[in-house]
Structure 1
């Protein structure tokens, strides 16, 4: 009989307590632990033979997304431990069958091979403890190479320094001159822009020469390391001069004859041409008078002082930085190096009035009535260089006063060859600021190339300036003396360990010195000043940044300071 109502229909159905499938007492998943999961997990290979051991944790599946590596969902700490134990027991039952090296881990340097080294903890690569940074070599023979010297220690987001740079003091140097309120800033140019300039200039021509030269003593060219090659550096009093551009009577005379547009000396010009290599602060004075420019220096300028390890990664410390080693501070080393370069060229020549080489004119600065010491061997060549461009309405020439230190006979032709003589000095290869220099006494003879390469690295600016000065003077040879302290703890006594000879042009190539870039730098600043009105301008190298600033200053700038210095010197002489 059919139900009378819907209520009767419902009551006639089997009784149920809940929706869904019927319940059962059988336990299907007993003993199976729940597997924790991560959002970073990806379905990939069934078996990855390229990730083993510790690399599995850093370079395996967790590599896909490190942000979720430690975020495990669906299980507490206890269940995670159970799962890890089960996984370890399961993996222990397997063994590696394929022992062949895989291409993903091979550090191949053969043809067409590629290898990638990354810093510690970097993404997507094996963890290499203590790596300095990232080096990537792309392609095989002839392939391009890419370097990343960020020096990061924590992989991505790590500190971008070199090896142990965190232990090195942060240098804050002072400027050679402090700009005043009356100075007007015209230009600010960084070294990266200056390094891209290029201007092809010839070898130049001689205008006139003055002075005389003694012949070089060839006995100093003996092989270094022998007992006879080590000689004590003696101090000989000779009259030497470093006359500025504006005080040079020959330059003033040539300017009146309208022989050129720009006038300067090789000491000043070499600093400007090698500006991108400089680290310490320096300054130059540029004076415009009508259509002429005089590039000069002020009294007491750092340009006259010889630097020591200026370009070293761990340069000598300033006195203001609290260094206890006062004789190895920046100022003390500069005074020592300047003194050595004054007395060393005097010692290595043979002073003979009968065999000396006289130039066309007498010494322009020596006055026998006022000087008590005889003049030092020195020749002054005034040379003209063409800095003109095709677009210039009139040619632009520069006259430079260059210097030569000695002359030597050619062994084959017997002709006189002009040489410049400079000296590198060693203070203490174990002291702060030595720049990793080798011990000259034991390594100069056996590892000459290594010693010279270290000096090129630590004194790039100084050696570049000396090379430029030799090329400007058209010297045939550059003599480099290696002078060391007799006792590393005293800066008073020195010995000459040896002398090496170089061709200036070849030495410039070894240093990667581009003279065309230097000429372009000079022409750039000359054009800046020629666009301005007549007056005085100052170039200042920033003490802590690789850039140069050009200021327009009052005409009496530095003159009051020079008068005060002169008054102090006169008072000291009277006392």
Structure 2
């Protein structure tokens, strides 16, 4: 029959845990740790010095560092030496020499600052002159472009036009008058005019469009229309009426 050896049971009557510390763990410093701690580097000689503050406590222990492995420097008075911290009195020659050196440094610094200021002023004035020149150049180019565009437009609009009334050679001159005399003339009473031709249509204009505000809105309607931009001579209605011969009394 097999023999069963019962293990040694440590009964602690005054608390929890073992009653005595094993010999191999006796007088060994204990460092608390957590199984959830993150491992940083294998050998981190810099400790917890991270440039990014977000990662300062990333790899630190949840229980905090103990003082088991802390190093305490014991005071050693064997190599103690008394140091005299009193200021040594300088001679007049040393004081004047230091004063002259400081004055020369200050004068050189002021000279460099003045030269730098002059260079900056010259650079600013040159930049300002260049900026003014570019602005005037753009202004002249704009004016020249508008003038050239207007000249091209006026030349494009120039076209030979025929007179609306053709003067015939067999006409008899009744009377000639200039414009000032014509302005002073009294108009004779003539009969009521009559319509020769009725063309086109005049639509109603809604005056509500003149009172449109942010509170009083009105929807605009898109109307597809063709606008004929023709002169009086090229108008087909005028050409139709022109075919009829009228007499002028």
Q: TM-score, normalised by structure 1?
A: 0.11
More helix per residue: 2
More strand per residue: 1
Report 1 or 2 for greater relative contact order, CA contacts < 8 Å, sequence distance ≥ 6. 1
Q: TM-score, normalised by structure 2?
A: 0.22
